[in-house]
Structure 1
Amino acid sequence: MAKAMDSEAQQQLNVTFLPYPTPGHMNPMIDAARLFARHGVNVTIIATPANALTFQNAIDTDFTHGYHIRTQLLPFPAAQVGLPEGVENIKDGTSLELLGQISRGISMLKGHIELLFQDLHPDCIVSDMSYPWTVESAAELGIPRIFFYSSSYLSDCGIHSIRRHRPHERLVSDTDKFTIPGFPHRIEMTRLQLSNWERVRKEVSDNFERIFESERRSYGALYNSFHELESEYEQLHKSIVGIKSWSIGPVSPWVNKDDGQKINREHKEELPEEPEWLTWLNTEQNDSVIYVNFGSLTRLHHAQLVELAHGLENSGHSFIWVIRKKDGNENDNSFLQEFEDKMKESNKGFIIWNWAPQLLILNHPAIGGIVSHCGWNSLLESLSAGLPVITWPMFAEQFYNERLVVDVLKIGVPVGAKENKFWAFGGEDKVVGREEITKAVVELMEKEEGREMRKRARKLSDASKKTTEKGGHSYNNLIQLIDEIKSLKISKAVTEAS
């Protein structure tokens, strides 16, 4: 009996997940960790207290259902970097200075995390791409390190290809187009659409060099994508980066599909009986409303908010717009307040402040499309709901995601965003005008091409559901990866015993 128990303990796979504290990275990794636990893995998630609060309810629920999953808390060094208690996530950075302090606090955790790895004895570390040093940690422990990439295969392949070939350096102007070398589709971009660190060679690129170097040295990579969405770029990733990868997405709809309730995990309390926006949405015709949301890290400046408001109004289409209240910016708030009153009166639009249950809204039959910053999680959620997209990328890898949506999947209308720029970096902001916004909404909602896009988006939605069912690509990939880590664990034990 003891022997059986012993071998059972040996069979139990221990996997430690290390998410990076920004919603676009953290949320999909938490969902991936929960999927591992649902397939019999003993899962530990390392997080700081304020970050853990955002997902702890889901973990507790999984635990009460008998899954082996827990959070290992690490105190965040707020006082040491001059931050108030509870400011631990990149989304809390309202200025460049604050962002710098949060990043410093995160990097100060390295030593503590390494000690935790020693204590936890994991059989595998799944690490966010932003912690390149975990490759060494895993090597010291003699276990595999899986590189977790929180965006599309196409974006990772694009970054690698451009780093290698540097096609943008041969151009005369920032707005001239170049083609990404070695791609199965003709994908054109401009120098301005690349991240700042890709455009120029300087220190910040050293950090990214380390990230991509650590990817190459990993045992494999884990992607929140699915075969039917990006099979050609899945193939290309293998030849460009040279490591195995497993696409197990879309993780959020998969992990939440048994819950019956599509309520976003970040929502602290239950929805009231029927919120005002839902009453309004229920009166709208199917596929007639456009949903506008730019994610948790984007902040639009006043001139852009004005153009967007007029662009939506002039399109003649009903819309729901989610806006984060800015601290103390009277200018924005008074304009938006007046705009909100006007829309309520005309019954043409609805503004939701700060937070909205995105999955509930996207899956409402009245929603016919989304205006998106092309953050990967938002795109996957729109896709799962079968919605075409008006693409408005802002920064990071979002311009690559736009190309996937527009050129490869053909389910998107670009609004014409020209420059890759994070709001905190100052400088002059390029404004997308109301005419372009109106034109894109009309094309998506009224034109024949928009209808074709909706059909294609619905097909992808069906594929996204099938892929996570038993026998589907993503389902099989997850099982295969878990089995592979198990056999690595067994051969390691055999080697150590001999």
Structure 2
Amino acid sequence: MAENNIRLHVAVFPWLAFGHMIPYLELSKLIAEKGHTVSFISTPRNIDRLPKLPSNLSQFLKFVKLPMPHVEKLPENAEATIDVPYEQVKYLKLAYDGLEESMAKFLEDSTPDFIFFDFASYWIPSIASKFSIPTAYFSIFIAAALGFTGPVPGLNNDYEIRETPEEYTICPKWVPFDTTVAFKLFEVSRIFEASMKGEEENVSDLFRIFKTFEHCNFLLVRSCSEFEPEWLKVVEDIHRKPVFPVGQLPTTTYDDDSTKINAWEEIKLWLDKQEKGKVIYVAFGSEAKPSQNELTELSLGLELSGLPFFWVLRTKRGESDDELIQLPHGFEDRTKGRGIVCTSWAPQLKILSHHSVGGFLTHSGWSSVVEAIQFERPLVLLTFLADQGINARLLEEKRMAYSIPRDDRDGSFTRDSVAESVNLVLVEEEGEIYRKKVKEVKDLFCDKKRQNNYVANLLSFLQNYKKTER
């Protein structure tokens, strides 16, 4: 329970993407477990879609629903990135910015001791300061991604904003050690306009994150000091603020409702029939949707590999997505029995935990990486968006994952490279390093005691901070 007799009330406010909301929820649960109050703030539909809480936490962890503001081009009922095609995420950001007024009202009425916020809500420190509430940016991005993003240009330094995609393909000047961590040209080109430049009436992600760095009181990072100590030091050095790794926050399992139980039973029946360690599980998170060409090469590559596969495929992002992608003609007939393509919900943790699964072909979103490591599943990577390229480089550098070879400029890859990559990581002797590494880092990522210590350390800091501020 709460130590030092100081019970805290922490508000948390993640960006409207499940890859952000779930780590925020995991951290909230760990804080609530220690007897502190947490207000988890989001919009109604998102809160209704979150996993149900264990009953012992319901008195400490409260969900706060702020109504989603209307934005003209945002489809009705769209409250998360999962609900819209990539090009409509900008309208979701405008709606998120529209929550500023209701957030100010919440902070005024509830006066939490601290608020943890995400990069997209860069305006939180200015409203929190009116009520003397200290703020922490909780980054679901790892320290390497924050370090690569760099210091706020012109703030106690002479760094300038990088103006071209090419500048993001090399290691930045403020990183004092040799590293291969940087974007490939195709990765940064896909996100350059929205993330680095801004579009329509929207500010860029880079503007949001720089304002966040500048005005928050301290930084919390989804990382651990044993995994990327040099990058955590870069983050501390460039921002000159307290930086706290909060652990890897592995996803905890939840009780499912009956429809989900039935879906899992059907999947399990198929997995039970497969040879141990031979199934490649394929999933690219809630946001990544392959192009038609990528889908074709992926499909034919899985077919060529000869391995059994279970593929969770997103063919559509939200109701307004009219860009339909289709599997190659005859593909499902040719791979019948050997492969399953699931276009609905699938229980990722349960699938990864099954003994027949031998590897995970993923976009390298960090939650998926942590989940693979939880179950010692070696990683084959195919990046799509956001920080995924940085994650992939760090994992490659540490020999923890293998990326499907691609053209650096346009990101194209072939069916042969897909087939060769999955066979290398799952079956071949040459891929033993990846199978071994994932076992070696499991304890580092998923040990409960270690995770608990990170959260206890953070809470101790917050309690002392509150004591000195009194």
Q: What range describes the TM-score normalised by the shorter chain of this pair? A: 0.7 to 0.9
Structure 2 Cα separation of the partners of residues 139 and 241 of structure 1 = 19
Q: Give the CA deviation at 1:231.
A: 2.4
Question: Would you say 1:339 and 2:316 are equivalent positions?
Answer: no
Q: 1:252 aligns with which of 242, 250, 254?
A: 250
| 1:385 CA drift (Å) | 1.6
**Paired residue for 1:237?**
235
User: Shift of the alpha carbon at 1:250?
Assistant: 2.5
What is the deviation of 1:292? 0.6
How many angstroms does 1:26 deviate by?
A: 1.1
Instruction: Note if contact 2:247-2:454 (Cα within 8 Å) is conserved in structure 1.
Output: no
Task: Note if 1:196 corresponds to 2:192.
Answer: yes
Shift of 1:415: 0.9
Q: Determine what percentage of the aligned residue pairs are the same residue.
A: 24
String of CA shifts for 1:162-220, please: whole Å, max 9, x gaps. 978679879xx959963444253421644443341599666777552342232243222
Q: Is the 8 A contact 1:175 1:192 kept in 2?
A: no
Alignment of 1:12-31 (within 5 A): 12-31=7-26
- The aligned counterpart of 2:342 is 352
TM-score (normalizing by structure 2):
0.87
Query: CA deviation digits over 1:130-188, x for unaligned, max 9?
Result: 11111222322223211011121111111117978679879xx9599634442534216
d(CA) in 1 for partners of 2:137, 2:196: 25
Q: In the aligned structure 1, how far is the partner of 2:11 from the partner of 2:264?
A: 40
Query: Which of residues 101, 104, 109 in structure 1 aligns to 2:99?
Result: 109
What aligned pairs does 1:182-331 form with structure 2 within 5 A after superposition?
Answer: 182-187=175-180, 189=182, 190-194=184-188, 195-197=191-193, 207-253=205-251, 256=252, 262-263=253-254, 269-272=259-262, 275-326=265-316
Where does residue 403 of structure 2 map in the other structure?
414
Partners of 1:264 and 1:58 lie apart in 2 by: 9
Displacement of 1:313 in angstroms is 1.0
CA positional deviation for 1:390? 1.1
Alignment of 1:359-438 (within 5 A): 359-407=349-397, 409-418=398-407, 430-438=411-419
CA apart distance, 1:329 = 6.9
1:37 lines up with 2:29 in the alignment:
no
* 1:216 and 1:242 in contact (8 A); partners too: no
Quick one: structure 1 residues 320 and 118, their matched pair in 2 at CA, closer, same or farther if it must change by over 3 Å?
same
Maintained 8 Å contact 2:143/2:228: yes
CA distance in 1, matches of 2:167, 2:97: 36
Cα distance in 2, alignment partners of residues 299 and 406 from structure 1: 23
Query: SS state of the match for residue 413, structure 1?
Result: strand
Distance, in Å, in 1 between the alignment partners of 2:224 and 2:277 is 26
* Corresponding residue of 2:455: 478
Correspondent of 1:77 among 64, 69, 86: 69
Looking at structure 2, the residues matched to 455 and 41 of structure 1 have their Cα atoms a distance apart, in angstroms, of 39
1:93 to 69, 84, 88: 84
Question: Shift in Å at residue 126 of structure 1?
Answer: 0.6
Greater CA drift, 184-193 or 375-384: 184-193
- Give a deviation string over 1:318-361, Cα, whole Å, max 9, x none: 1111112437879744x4684223322xx321222222100111
Which of 447, 461, 481 in structure 1 is aligned with 2:442?
Answer: 461
The one of 34, 49, 60 aligned to 1:68:
60
Code of the residue aligned with 2:177 in structure 1: it is P
- Assess if the C-alpha contact under 8 Å between 2:68 and 2:99 holds in 1: yes
Larger-Rg structure: 1
Matched-pair contact (CA < 8 Å) for 1:264–1:357: no
Distance (whole Å) between structure 2 residues aligned to residue 384 and residue 227 of structure 1: 18
TM-score by length of 1: 0.82
Q: Distance in 2 between matches of 1:44 and 1:185?
A: 41
Higher mean displacement: 301-310 or 136-145: 136-145
- Letter matched to residue 196 of structure 1: F
